[in-house]
Amino acid sequence: MKGIAIAILLLYSALAKAQSGSENCKDHPLFARIAGYTIDDCAENFGMIPFHVEDGSNLQKEGNIKQISYKWSEGAGKKASALSQIIKAYETIVYKRGGTKVFSCTSCVDGNSGATFNLSNDGRNYWIKITAIVGTATETKGYDLVILSTEEDKEEEKDVEDGGGGMYAELDKTGRVALYINFETGKSIIKPESEPTISAIEQLLADYPTLVISIEGHTDNIGSPASNKTLSLARANAVINSLVKRGVDKNRLSAKGWGQEKPIANNESDEGRAKNRRVEIVKVKE
């Protein structure tokens, strides 16, 4: 175990920029090179490509794409890294920047061994895909790194700053207000950056003590209708659980999951799908 730990530690420390293996190709600014690998080829364009997600399906994303193909340098004086080590190295960088791992497989029978990550950095959202192309799970002599980036969704979380007063005005006017609460991809775990929005809902309920609301989850159309409905309900309940932990009476809260049934924008674009992935606060009674 000690030897393995040392090997992984050396691999992490070796994530330093190396001399380019292909003229005019450079490493991506977010991801330094793993020692022993050189760039074999690279390409940049705008388009749409699939990313593997945890339920085994593919998520189509559109944006600026940078692809870098790495190959093992036979003159490195050691064996090529295992795919699990390569994934772990990128995972460490992603986690340090606040990102998440969406998918990982080191021995997929469909030839898609690799990993998918999601990361937001400096106003951009990144989808990262690693795919083994040469070698075995224990010795990967070539892999592709694909990074798709888009501008981060700038939908403002409504009325967070005013402690819920503006949120109530919208509820009183239309009976509902849409909030953009960030969850881990494909999960009902609320990301830390959305805690101010949860606090605003808590303040709303404190300011209007007779208000009873329904927390209603919505998704885009990626994935099956059944799984989206389950996920949207789980996310609505996650918001309720967070509020109850803060001291809100659970009898003032109920949950619904609509899945992809009630879109408010076109699901044909990233921007439209981002608007559809929302949690709505609906006034039940006051």
Quick one: residue 281, left, alpha or beta (phi over 0 = left, psi -120 to 50 = alpha)? beta
Residues 6+ apart with CB under 8 A from 9: none
Helices (H), the chain: 2-13, 83-96, 165-174, 195-207, 225-245, 270-276
What structural domains and CATH numbers belong to the chain?
2-151 (no CATH), 165-285 (3.30.1330.60)
The pLDDT assigned to 113 comes to: 84
Can you list the residues of the chain whose pLDDT is less than 50?
1-21, 154-159
pLDDT in tens, 131-186: 988 877 788 999 999 999 987 654 444 445 555 566 888 888 889 888 888 888 78
